[in-house]
């Protein structure tokens, strides 16, 4: 069933987490008995529905109207309304209530990762982790892309340096998917 949702996303060019990235998330969820997840960037709900199927309760933020509509439909189709709370807001400006989370999954605008990290990491439970996707951004060569993409690659490089140097987090970087990081809050 989830396979069907993946096919739909690929057909409509909706970027969703790749299989390797999803199995990385699954491993972390199972190994660390993750229950509560905050996701930034729902798209059509694929990764949120997958994480809910692994037993998590997911709050997920999305700002794009068409995506919100599709995600709502898909969450209903999978009968996951009790497990997934879709917050139809821009994650940069969102000021509404949040819970505390075992896992925060950053998968929205790559240029804003640092802002998302700073804004949402205070909502981690003790021992919680932040996972970021697409840090390698398709392994593009900065000398062979346009100015906009070059800026994005520079921002991602800066964000990785920020994670490496963050005094409150221990971060490891992984080749899975499109490059993922996992940051543990130091106790
Ligand atoms: C890569 S897709 C998310 C894919 C999804 N996590 C999955 O794997 O199924 C990124 C999504 O983040 C959304 N997004 C980007 N910036 C955002 C923001 N500031 N607030 C909320 N959503 C945002 C985009 O509209 C897009 O749908």
Best residue among 64, 108, 110 to mutate for probing ligand 1, ranked by most atoms within 8 Å of CB: 108
Q: How far is CA 131 from the centre of its chain?
A: 7
What's the start-to-end Cα distance of the chain, in Å? 40
CB of 20 closer than 6 angstroms to any ligand 1 atom: no
Q: Is 181 helix (H, G, I), strand (E, B) or coil?
A: strand
Q: Is 3 helix (H, G, I), strand (E, B) or coil?
A: helix
The half-sphere exposure of 146 on its side-chain side, counting CA atoms within 13 A, is: 1
> Which atom of ligand 1 is nearest the CA belonging to 47?
9
Q: Is the dihedral of CA 41, 46, 47, 51 positive or negative?
A: positive
Q: For the chain, list residues with pLDDT below 70.
A: none
57 C-alpha vs ligand 1 centroid, how far in Å? 18
Length of the chain: 187
Domains in the chain, start-ordered, CATH in brackets? 2-185 (3.40.50.150)
62 C-alpha vs ligand 1 centroid, how far in Å? 6
Question: What is residue 136's predicted lDDT score, i.e. its pLDDT?
Answer: 85
Q: Is 166 exposed, middle or buried (0-12, 13-18, 19+ CB in 10 A)?
A: middle
Question: What is residue 70's predicted lDDT score, i.e. its pLDDT?
Answer: 97
DSSP per residue, 64-85? -HHHHHHHHHHHHHTT-TTTEE
Q: Is 158 helix (H, G, I), strand (E, B) or coil?
A: helix
Q: Which residue, judged by its Cα, is nearest atom 14 of ligand 1?
A: 108
With beta carbons less than 8 A apart as the criterion, state whether 3 and 46 touch: no
User: Cβ of 102: how many Cβ atoms within 10 Å?
Assistant: 21
> Which atom of ligand 1 is nearest the CA belonging to 15?
1
Question: What is residue 177's predicted lDDT score, i.e. its pLDDT?
Answer: 83
CB of 87 closer than 6 angstroms to any ligand 1 atom: no
CB of 63 closer than 6 angstroms to any ligand 1 atom: yes
């Amino acid at each position: 069933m989830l396979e069907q949702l993946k096919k739909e996303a690929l057909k409509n060019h909706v970027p969703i987490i790749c299989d390797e990235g999803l199995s990385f998330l699954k491993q972390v969820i199972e190994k660390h008995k993750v229950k509560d997840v905050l996701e930034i960037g729902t798209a059509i709900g694929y990764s949120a529905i997958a994480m809910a199927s692994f037993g998590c309760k997911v709050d997920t933020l999305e700002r794009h109207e068409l995506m919100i509509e599709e995600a709502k439909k898909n969450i209903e189709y999978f009968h996951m309304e009790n497990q997934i709370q879709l917050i139809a807001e821009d994650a940069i400006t969102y000021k509404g209530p949040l819970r505390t989370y075992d896992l925060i999954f950053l998968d929205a605008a790559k240029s804003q990762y640092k802002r998302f990290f700073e804004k949402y990491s205070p909502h981690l439970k003790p021992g919680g982790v932040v996972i970021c996707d697409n840090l390698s951004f398709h392994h593009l060569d900065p000398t062979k892309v346009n100015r906009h993409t070059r800026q994005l690659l520079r921002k991602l490089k800066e964000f990785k340096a920020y994670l490496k140097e963050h005094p409150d987090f221990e971060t490891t970087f992984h080749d899975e998917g499109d490059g993922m990081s996992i940051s543990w809050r130091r106790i």
